[in-house]
Amino acid sequence: MPKTLADLLSGVSVYHLIGDPATPISALVYDSRRVTPGSLFVAIRGQHSDGHNFIPQAIAAGAAAVVVDQRYWHGAVSAEVPVVVVADSRVALAPLAAAFYEYPGQQLTTIGITGTKGKSTTTDLTAQLLAAAGRTVGMISTVDFQIGTRRWPNDTRQSTPEAPEVQALLREMVVAGCDTAVIEATSHALSPRWGRLVGCAFAVAVMLNIGHEHLDFHGTFEQYRADKAQLFALLAERHGPTWAIVNADDPHHGTFLAAVPSQTMRLRYALHAPADVQGQIVHSGPASSHMRIHSPWGEIEVNVPLPGRFNASNVLAALTVALTQGVPLERAAAAVAHVRAPRGRMVSINVGQPFTVIVDYAHNPDSFEQIFTMLRPQVTGRIIAVFGSAGERDVSKRAIQGEIAGRMCDLLVLTDEDPRGEDREAIIAQIAAGAERAGKRPGSGYLCIPNRAQAIRTAIAAARPGDMVLLLGKGHEGSIIYADYTLPWDEEGEARRALAELGYHAKEQA
């Protein structure tokens, strides 16, 4: 059914409308280069450009109407097309998108998963468990998109895409016959400053953990935590039963429960603290663990084919979601035994070399603590860590990462992650300052090699039998972003090439 401008404005706090509300709208765009005849163009002021400067181009390309931000629009009262003046055009984008795509979240069981670490893995694990139980699942994660049996890489470099892309994917899921959507919900997307996930109508909200991340955007840890908790407030959009699931092992879980609407059902899961769904690791090895689970649905033991205590916790979160969705405990436990990690998460490369090479996405202080603590007991030799820190992102975490790695690893090779517009060597120097606080010295304890391909080759060439080389921070990502260009990147492929140059190119070992 054709949509009008008035149809799309139903969920928006309209400041002022100039023009005809019955104007037909055929598309919703926020990039003037994507305007087609009949589009509603939403002008947004971004970090590097201001969409208000491109309104003439949008109208020339056929925009039927424009949405402008009252703070940045200085146009005349009369206009060639209808103009909607709003308090914040970025915030208005999400309700506009939900209305344009006819609120697909209400037609799905929409599950949101947030936390500082483990979001992508738990999102994927949840989708896997529900699919194994017979649900037709869609997924939006940092690593991949999925609609039913179709799965493809998320190359946007946004863990949670902009609202129109989220709503378009949800609509595709509905059309494809999906009954469930699992969304990785980032703090940026949840922040009221952006509000990308408004209109998703979440039926389930999951909180994994809260640590040190993205303070460049949120300003303070308290604001970061409050923005994460917005996921639980969004449960109020849902017409029907809703669930709030929190990790009781995290001391901040109470903040999330405080944001939950009164009619929402609540569940705590944990490995240590008292919880509704209680997991206990019976024993663990380098690649898996065995866990006993007590829950309102019964008791059972499960085999977790992923390494580390943090993956046991991620599995427990995913299992708890499955139980709330009516999956029998026995069936969910059986599915756990066959789950797999997403691309770029704890990928071991073994082509016959006498040392270990692992690729992982770990890129913040908490994930560094976890991965080094987990792997240190497994290494008879040295741990050599290759990593950097993103430019134009949280500056304060750089020295912290350097200090943690300096304390827990034997040799650090500091390199580019995504410098963006910052000085790559200045970023590395900030990491090195933390490494020096941990006692590392240049040349022996750490090396500064901005070129990531060279850094990987140096680390692998330095490895001796029994050592472990950890390549951290890129994982699945397909590029390294610089100020004026983007370098295509394949971390695992680069590691394999480095090993082959040293003569290790045998068939992948089991």
List the domains of the chain with CATH numbers: 3-92 (3.40.1390.10), 101-336 (3.40.1190.10), 347-501 (3.90.190.20)
Rounded CA gap, 229 and 355, in Å? 42
Strand (E) or helix (H) holding 284: strand 277-284
Find out whether 141 is annotated in a ligand binding site: no
Find out whether 242 is annotated in a ligand binding site: no
For residue 366, the model assigns a pLDDT of 85
Find out whether 109 is annotated in a ligand binding site: no
Rounded CA gap, 303 and 312, in Å? 9
398 contacts 365 by C-beta, under 8 angstroms: no
Find out whether 89 is annotated in a ligand binding site: no
Token couple for 6: 């008035």
pTM of this prediction?
0.87
Where does residue 38 fall: left (phi above 0), alpha (psi -120 to 50 degrees), or beta otherwise? left
Residues 6 or more apart in contact with residue 231 via CB below 8 angstroms? 112, 114, 185, 190, 197, 202, 205, 207, 256
Residues 6 or more apart in contact with residue 442 via CB below 8 angstroms? 432, 448
Find out whether 440 is annotated in a ligand binding site: no
Rounded CA gap, 167 and 139, in Å? 12
Phi, psi of 355 (to 5 degrees): -140, 165
Q: What is the DSSP letter of 503?
A: T
Find out whether 264 is annotated in a ligand binding site: no
Strand (E) or helix (H) holding 231: helix 230-233
Number of residues written out for the chain: 510
What does the pLDDT profile of the chain (510 residues) look like in tens digits?
Answer: 679 999 999 889 878 999 999 999 999 999 999 999 999 999 999 877 899 999 999 999 999 999 999 999 987 655 789 999 999 999 999 999 999 999 999 999 999 999 988 999 999 999 999 999 999 999 999 999 999 999 999 888 777 899 999 999 999 999 999 999 999 999 888 988 888 999 999 999 999 999 766 555 556 888 888 889 999 999 999 999 999 999 999 999 999 999 999 999 999 999 999 999 999 999 988 788 999 999 999 999 999 999 888 999 999 999 999 999 999 999 999 999 999 989 888 888 999 999 999 999 998 898 899 899 989 988 999 999 999 999 988 898 999 999 999 999 999 999 999 999 999 999 999 999 999 999 999 999 999 999 999 999 999 999 999 999 999 999 999 999 999 999 999 999 999 999 999 999 766 554
> Under DSSP, is residue 258 helix (H, G, I), strand (E, B) or coil?
helix
Rounded CA gap, 501 and 385, in Å? 20
For the chain, the C-alpha Rg in angstroms (whole number) is 24
- What single string gives the DSSP state of each residue in 439-481? T--BTTTEEE--SHHHHHHHHHHH--TT-EEEEES-TT--EEE
For residue 507, the model assigns a pLDDT of 61
Q: Which of 323, 332, 346 is nearest to 302 (CA)?
A: 332
286 contacts 304 by C-beta, under 8 angstroms: no
Find out whether 186 is annotated in a ligand binding site: yes
Measured between alpha carbons, how far is residue 278 from residues 127, 207, 307 in Å?
Answer: 21, 16, 19
Residues 6 or more apart in contact with residue 210 via CB below 8 angstroms? 115, 116, 224, 225, 228, 250, 252
Find out whether 116 is annotated in a ligand binding site: yes
| Amino acid present at 245 | I
Please give the span between the terminal C-alpha atoms of the chain, in angstroms, as a whole number: 55
For residue 184, the model assigns a pLDDT of 96
For residue 193, the model assigns a pLDDT of 81
55 contacts 66 by C-beta, under 8 angstroms: yes
309-324 and 365-375 helices, crossing angle to 10°: 110
For residue 217, the model assigns a pLDDT of 59
For residue 349, the model assigns a pLDDT of 92
Sign of CA dihedral 246, 251, 252, 256: positive
> Under DSSP, is residue 88 helix (H, G, I), strand (E, B) or coil?
coil
For residue 76, the model assigns a pLDDT of 62
For residue 221, the model assigns a pLDDT of 81
Find out whether 474 is annotated in a ligand binding site: no
Find out whether 380 is annotated in a ligand binding site: no
Find out whether 196 is annotated in a ligand binding site: yes
